[in-house]
Amino acid sequence: MSGTSAVAGLEFFAACPRHVPDLLAGELRGLGLNVTREHPAGVSFRGPLSDGYLACLESRTASRVLLTLGTVPLDSAERMYEGLRELAWEEHLAPEGTLAVDVVGEAPAWLRHTQFAAQKAKDAIVDRFRERTGSRPSVDLQAPDLRVSLRLARGSATVSIDFSGEPLHRRGYRQSGVEAPLKENLAAALLLRCGWPAIAAEGGAFADPMCGSGTLVIEAALMAAHVAPGLLRRRCGFERWLGHDAAQWQELRQAALERRDLSLLGSGRLRGFARDQTAIRASLANAGRSGVGDHVMFERCDVAALPAAPETRGLVLVNPPYGARLEDEGTLAPLYATLGRTLIERFPGWQAGVFTGNPPLGRALGLRAHRSHTFFNGPIECRLLRFELNAEAVEPDAATARRARLESARARPGAAMFANRLRKNFAKLESWARRADVSCFRVYDADMPEYSFAIDIYGNDERFACVQEYAAPPTVSREAARGRRDEALSVLPEVLGLPEERITLRVRRRQRHGEQYEKVDSEARFHTVREGRYRFLVNFTDYLDTGLFLDHRLTRARIGELAAGRRFLNLFAYTGTATVYAVGAGATSSTTVDMSKTYLEWAKRNLALNGLAGPNHGFVHADCLAWLEEQAQAAPCKYGLVFVDPPTVSRSKRMDREFDVQRDHVGLLHRIGGLLEPDGLILFSNNNQRFRLDAEGLAGFEIQDLSRATIPEDFRRNPRIHVAYLLRRRVA
């Protein structure tokens, strides 16, 4: 295919995120390209080589541009191999060159995984070179001369040359960022869906009240100034392809350079705001690298204090937090309400877009959306809510609407049934708690499956209720789940005897690996509660858990019984509640280990709150697994009692490797065993409800199952809430 640059009618495929193909097709048609078909995740187009170059240079929404070479069958590994080997790879790559193979799509049954397909494809290509030239290209996964793409579907694989190289959303300007930023091509898609090019052409302004690393502001500026996004990239994937026409590529680049006009941006028309100075610094650095730094403004400012709009016409587009780790409407609703009020007050007459991965939170804006569009931010299904910021957009007062909704829900039969069950539970468990001197206890745990909540009472001088709603399965509609939630919330204050402000609602989905202790907000409101003779700090809003695991109440008491006169080690310590029990019972020293600085500080505060802090009680900020390995290689301190309560699975970026408690508990306990004094004990627990202890792998220990003995009365309905074992070394 050495004459490719002169051939018209080449087949191309431009990939893009889901729900973006129509925007991408519009872009390509606007560039004069011949779009032949829209797909769920991309667009096909046909034309000369220059069209492929132009798509790489000018498209703002494409992820990749691929030049199609043909298809090969997927009946078997041999058929795929032969089909790939028949292609004239020597027309695309020099024998001494480098290549990489990417595979996407659904593999047939015989393909064990896409990596196997990539290996077979690589073998076919290099074998053809070896047979015809006596030499072969090598593999370079990072920056190959030729990147080959295999798209698997319907019994065949489409074979293509990746013109992009790195994904096209990597424009080259964003080297600094904040957590979970928008990809540049998704940001561009949001701007296009909101009609920004037309607004910009008429002199309208742009604002992002929560700009993060500045992506929306920068993409809006590039769009308004007609800056081709491909101009910012260091190189494209086709530049070392043998069919590359360097002169034609330079001609297209030069034309794009001549079209850009930064003077169209004016001064102060495009602005971004953030409350975090780190985000502002990242935005300024990214804008500088993009070439628009002198034409956009970034300012540290809270949403509630935004300045008035500089123009009478414009677009305000914002990607507020939406609780990707914890779908917590109660925590984030006030922020959305503030955002809604600010949009109406500061940007009258403007168009607005709010992009959220938690669509129910859109109601808290207090605004009536005139359009709603679905997008995906990575795996998260999101909505772009669009508003015209005028008086007609304002919904009735949110608090008034909520009261009316709950009043209506309280009249439904389901609310009465739920109230009856909760009232019986509460009467029984409150009586038990009073007799047992328990101040924090669970009163309801999905007793009625359709009302899937866990309700915990936390007490000291004042009582609070923490209500966690387990996220509904996909088979239950959002409206049905919302209706049941309203029915439950409508009766809680009366049944529990608590004012609304002391009842916290959290909507909880199944956690991802390593998420169990992650922060989700920053209100920093702590309350002191009592458990027996100890006091602990809890937080109902900022974290996935409150800081006190109520199901481990008896486990902590057992630690107190065992710790007197012993050196105590607390691994995966979280907020150090077990350390408080051990030190309070007379442990001679303690070491508390956790990989979160936040939770170690919390543990220190818990110890000080009980008057137990002192020089014999240390705290170690470390990955527990790495710390145990370090101890094994040194002359470690020996401990009389070790408490270890690891996560079920953790893939945290702060850990060197994945941890799975079922798979790895034997090795973990043996490493801990090496730190025991001769009569030392390990109290091992975890909350994996399918956990099975490997007694054979732990044959060197005497093992006592404490699981049933450590399940408190208020958790008896779920006896598998945790497991607990006491281990000691067998005497030889």
Could you write out the DSSP letters of every residue in 228-239? -GGGGSS--GGG
Residue 523: per-residue pLDDT: 45
Q: What is the predicted pLDDT for the residue at 732?
A: 66
Task: Inform me whether the pLDDT recorded for 5 exceeds 50.
Answer: no
The four Cα atoms 379, 380, 384, 385 give a dihedral, to 10 degrees, of 160
Closest-CA residue to 193 (of 326, 28, 375): 375
* Per-residue pLDDT at 524: 56
State residue 334's pLDDT score.
86
Q: How far apart are CA 524 and CA 560, in angstroms?
A: 29
When pLDDT is averaged across residues 521-543 and rounded to a whole number, the result is 83
At 576 the pLDDT is 97
Residue 673, exposed/middle/buried by CB under 10 A (0-12, 13-18, 19+)?
Answer: middle
pLDDT of amino acid 398: 60
Q: In what order do the strands lie in the sheet containing 503-508?
A: 441-445, 453-459, 463-470, 503-508
Lowest mean pLDDT among 509-523, 569-583, 698-712: 509-523
Give the whole-angstrom CA distance, residue 48 versus residue 71. 20
Of 261, 329, 339, nearest in space to 306 by CA: 339
Q: Is 690 helix (H, G, I), strand (E, B) or coil?
A: coil
Span 283-299, average pLDDT: 95
* Position 68, amino acid: T
pLDDT higher than threshold 70 for residue 514: no
State both tokens at 610. 């009980």
Residue 233, number of CB atoms within 10 A of its CB: 18
Give start-end residues of each CATH 3.40.50.150 domain in the chain. 184-215+261-395, 526-729
- Tokens 């038990």 appear where? 432
Q: Cα 48 vs. chain centroid, distance in angstroms?
A: 41
| C-alpha 680, offset from chain centre | 41
Q: Which CATH number fits domain 4-162: 3.40.50.620, 3.40.190.10, 3.30.2130.30, 3.40.50.2300?
A: 3.30.2130.30
pLDDT at 263 over 80: yes
Distance CA 580, CA 590 (A): 10
Of the candidates 643, 642, 644, 626, the one whose C-alpha atom is nearest the C-alpha of residue 634 is: 626
- 84 phi, psi to nearest 5 deg: -70, -35
Residues in the chain: 732
22-26, 462-466, 656-660: range with highest mean pLDDT:
22-26
Other residues' Cβ atoms within 10 Å of the Cβ of residue 6: 9
Is the confidence at residue 417, as pLDDT, over 90? yes
Of 221-225, 409-413, 480-484, 584-588, where does mean pLDDT reach its minimum? 480-484
Asked whether residue 512 carries a pLDDT value surpassing 70, the answer given is no
pLDDT above 80 (res 536)? yes
Mean pLDDT for the chain? 90
What pLDDT, on the 0 to 100 scale, is given for residue 480?
Answer: 84
CB atoms within 10 A of CB 177: 17
Q: Each residue of 419-447: b (16+ CB within 10 Å) or e?
A: beebeebbeebbeebeeeebbbbbbbbeb
Q: What is the pLDDT of residue 180?
A: 53
pLDDT reported for residue 450: 87
Higher pLDDT, 402 or 327: 402
Ranges of CATH 3.30.750.80 domains, the chain: 401-508
Kindly state the tokens that stand for 309: 């709009």
Given this model, what pLDDT does residue 326 score? 38
pLDDT tens figures, 426-443:
999 999 999 999 999 999
Which of 134-138, 276-280, 313-317, 507-511 shows the highest mean pLDDT?
A: 313-317
Smallest CA-to-CA distance from 592 within 617, 616, 613, 567 is with 617
> Where does 378-516 show beta strands of DSSP type E?
380-388, 441-445, 453-459, 463-470, 503-508
φ, ψ at 165 (rounded to 5°): 80, -115
| Confidence grade of residue 327 (pLDDT, cut at 50, 70, 90) | very low
3-state secondary structure 499-513: CHHHEEEEEECCCCC
pTM: 0.61
Q: Which whole-number Å values give the CA distances from 485 to 471, 542, 624, 644, 716, in the listed order? A: 11, 21, 39, 36, 24
pLDDT band at 36 (very low <50, low <70, confident <90, very high): very high
- Find the helix or strand (DSSP H, E) in which 320 lies: none
Give the Å distances, CA to CA, from 169 to 59, 172, 181, 219.
10, 9, 12, 11
Residue 510 is predicted with a pLDDT of 43
Query: CATH 3.30.2130.30 region(s) of the chain?
Result: 4-162
Angle at 688 between CA 683 and CA 693, to 5 degrees: 55
Superfamily of domain 184-215+261-395: Vaccinia Virus protein VP39 (3.40.50.150)
pLDDT at res. 87: 96
* Beta pairing class for 701-705 and 723-729: antiparallel
Rg, the chain, Cα only: 30
List of long-range contacts for 560-566, beta carbons under 8 Å, 24+ apart:
560/584, 560/585, 561/585, 562/641, 562/681, 562/683, 563/587, 563/640, 563/641, 565/640, 566/639, 566/640, 566/641, 566/677, 566/680
One of 3.40.50.1820, 2.40.440.10, 3.40.640.10, 3.30.750.80 is the CATH number of 401-508, namely 3.30.750.80
Residue 516: per-residue pLDDT: 39
**Superfamily name with CATH number, domain 526-729:** Vaccinia Virus protein VP39 (3.40.50.150)
pLDDT score recorded for residue 7: 43
Alpha helices in 71-225, H assignment, sequence order:
77-85, 114-133, 184-193, 196-201, 215-224
- Give the pairing of strands 534-539 and 617-621: unpaired
Cα of 72 vs its chain's centroid, Å = 37
Q: Which residues of 566-604 are buried (b: 16+ CB within 10 A; e: fewer)?
A: bbbbbbbbbbbbbbbbbbbbebebbbbbbbbeebbebbb
Among 138-142, 589-593, 680-684, the minimum mean pLDDT is found in 138-142
